[in-house]
A and B are shown apart, each in its own frame.
Chain A
């Protein structure tokens, strides 16, 4: 039988590495950009629009013309087939039309504004605030629910806490990945990022609960007096289910990611990253965490600390 609990130090180490990379990226981003994540129009305010050129033009040409027209600070992102997503400071739809006409003349190509989007900075700040509140409220609600669902177990608060720690771990790593992507490829987060994050919260807890449910059942049946063994066999027993469910969900999400179009591309990426990490965590982290707490082996959480003799 595979021994997940026995190798928990290694899994905790992997998690720590991911979390530390995330923290580093958030700090670097804070220093370089002034925000831990690169904020899109939803949070920072401004205008973003999708310009469709026919015939298609090169991104470098577009950038050059944008600079000439006084939009040098705009970010330009290719969305394939001659269309570009442009993010600038706030411009009205009239100004946007004018910009499109000027670009059409300069680049000798027909331009269509396929998607025009303006959000004032005040809305952005409010959105960012409620997003943070939402993630906290969701986590607390999950904690209460799990404490309630496992109320028959001794120390049900412990089960809830472990699930929420695992959950925060998933959210944190996902946020870290997006902070890193913001630094590396200029990826911006929008309101859909938060939507994706909260979906991950639900999905990840879903997986953890399935594992915990099995531990609860096996413990009640009294298969083994050793809690570590009970947890390990529960993880092994639910392994097939966890992997299969994640795989089936990943199939559809991967299809959406590859073929689903530019508007929801980043949103689907959040789900993709989150589901992979959520699956990892429900198998390798959540259960072992329960064992650590049960046995008081706190030192194993810090894999670099010396093993107790």
Chain B
């Protein structure tokens, strides 16, 4: 009972502090792009694929960040042996540019400074050919070690060609800097400075980079390992690889998103008003309690969305509204049961208690089936590009779980309080013609 009160006092605060402003909106509501590419890993040993794709992910993130797109989300999804890169870009600026960049391959390039201070590719000559030193020439054992002072070291080995190039370049660049470029952007550390180690010795087949933070070293290791092999992003069509074509693409204009939000809110308001009017007209006093309980339910649910946080997509919004309709169910079950108990000759207080305890098995069993459906949906959503399915399933799950909770705690507390206070004793208020005293006389 106290907990009910606590909830009641906390929730109005929630409404002010975590208003709708703070909810995280999906791309279909806020506008933005959702892209899925397959990685062409035919040149990569199966045992290395996890690691290589992590590196590819790092490469893609860096490219997109370089375009100034805020908060992109890049994920690797492994599905039936295929690796997908899922990219979510909020806002619609630079989408075409982003797609162009994503299609580029993942080789990193070493650059030196010319007399004017510009970074130009570091080249050498092997077999009369001028070659640029790139991540292509690393052996696959680039790794992190720790020196005697506990500082991280990035240790690497060149293959045959790499060793020849490295020898020429590091001889030339002793005590000078060597930067690492991805496309036209230098790699930067966490603090934003360019990663450009000074060459301290002539490096032939083996070398190390000192002075990196552990996070920078780890990321560089992934990038260099991924950069050994070209992993074109695109998609497979009938056994042929099409570079740069996404497997799945969805771009939503922010105006359409805003329109969807406006329409959904209008629909929700109309639906909820209808629902409340029905509950009040049909169940009278318990209906009022149900409405209050529903109000708390809605507010707590929004607070959960905000705090977790859960991304709201359009189907997610629909899930929220549907869960409001379903949240009434537990209340209806309890009230119908209470009415029956009243008609069956129990006192008001006893009828309410019996109503709750008897309705519980039905509430529990019936909601668990909805949970099963949500879990299957969530699992299904992970196997395809349709990110919307998961949003719906997650929100419906949370909504139904919370509705069980509010019905058996909040509604119960309110009803007990009202009955305990003996303020309202008119039987009509509880939806029955008269209290059972008359019947008991027979």
- Report A's interface with B, CB cutoff 8 A: 42, 50, 52, 92-94, 112-123, 126-127, 130-131, 133-134, 137-138, 141-142, 145-146, 149, 191-192, 194-195, 198-199, 201-203, 205-207, 209-210, 213-214, 217, 237-238, 240-241, 244-245, 247-256, 258-261, 263-264, 267-268, 271
Closest Cβ of chain A to B236, distance in Å, is: 7
Closest Cβ of chain B to A52, distance in Å, is: 8
A50 to B252, CA, bound (A): 9
Contact status of A202 and B253, CB under 8 A, knowing A123-B385, A127-B386: no
A266 to B321, CA, bound (A): 16
- Report B's interface with A, CB cutoff 8 A: 28, 36, 80, 95-96, 99, 235-237, 245-253, 255-256, 259-260, 263-264, 266-268, 270-272, 274-275, 278-279, 282, 314-315, 318, 321-322, 324-326, 328-329, 332-333, 336, 340, 358, 361-362, 365-374, 376-377, 379-380, 383-386, 388-389, 392-393, 396
Partner of B322, one of A145, A191, A205, A249: A249
Asked whether A206 lies within 8 Å of B370 as measured between CB atoms, the reply is: yes
Chain A residues whose C-beta falls within 8 Å of the C-beta of B372 in the assembled complex: 138, 141-142, 145, 202
Closest Cβ of chain B to A134, distance in Å, is: 4
A120-B237, A138-B372 are known contacts; what are 6 more A-B pairs with Cβ within 8 Å?
Answer: A120-B247, A134-B377, A141-B376, A205-B369, A245-B328, A261-B263
Chain B residues whose C-beta falls within 8 Å of the C-beta of A146 in the assembled complex: 369
Chain B residues whose C-beta falls within 8 Å of the C-beta of A137 in the assembled complex: 376
Partner of B369, one of A118, A145, A251: A145
Closest Cβ of chain B to A171, distance in Å, is: 11
A to B contact number (C-beta, < 8 Å) = 232
Chain B residues whose C-beta falls within 8 Å of the C-beta of A50 in the assembled complex: 256
28 pairs across A/B with beta carbons < 8 Å? Answer: A52-B253, A93-B251, A117-B251, A118-B250, A119-B249, A119-B385, A120-B235, A121-B237, A127-B383, A127-B384, A127-B385, A131-B380, A192-B389, A194-B389, A195-B389, A198-B377, A199-B322, A205-B369, A205-B370, A210-B333, A213-B361, A213-B365, A214-B362, A217-B358, A252-B267, A253-B325, A260-B318, A261-B263
In the complex, residue of chain B having the shortest beta-carbon distance to the beta carbon of A216: B361
Main DSSP-derived SS at the B contact region = helix
Contact status of A114 and B253, CB under 8 A, knowing A134-B376, A199-B396: yes
